[in-house]
Amino acid sequence: MLDLDHFKELKDSFGHPFGDQVLEVVGEVLHTFLRTTDAPCRYGGEEFALVLTETGQQGAVVTAERIREQIAQHAFRPRDK
The pTM assigned to this predicted structure is: 0.83
The one catalytic residue among 46, 54, 65, 69:
46
pLDDT score for 57: 96
Determine how many CB atoms are found less than 10 A away from the CB of residue 59.
11
Query: For residue 38, with 0-12 CB atoms within 10 Å meaning exposed, 13-18 middle and 19 or more buried, which class applies?
Result: middle
User: Total domain count for the chain?
Assistant: 1
pLDDT score for 23: 94
- For 24-44, how does the pLDDT look when each residue is reduced to its tens digit (9 = 90+)? 999 999 999 899 999 999 998
Angle between helices 57-73 and 16-33 (to 10 degrees): 140
- Domain membership flag for residue 57: yes
pLDDT score for 56: 96
- Domain membership flag for residue 7: yes
User: What is the identity of the amino acid at 8?
Assistant: K
- Domain membership flag for residue 81: no
- Domain membership flag for residue 25: yes
Known catalytic membership, residue 65: no
Q: Distance (Å, rounded) from C-alpha 81 to C-alpha 71? A: 23
Give residue 44's domain range: 2-73
What CATH number does residue 63 fall under?
3.30.70.270
pLDDT score for 81: 54
Give the chain's residues under pLDDT 70: 80-81
For 24, list phi and psi in degrees, rounded to 5: -65, -45
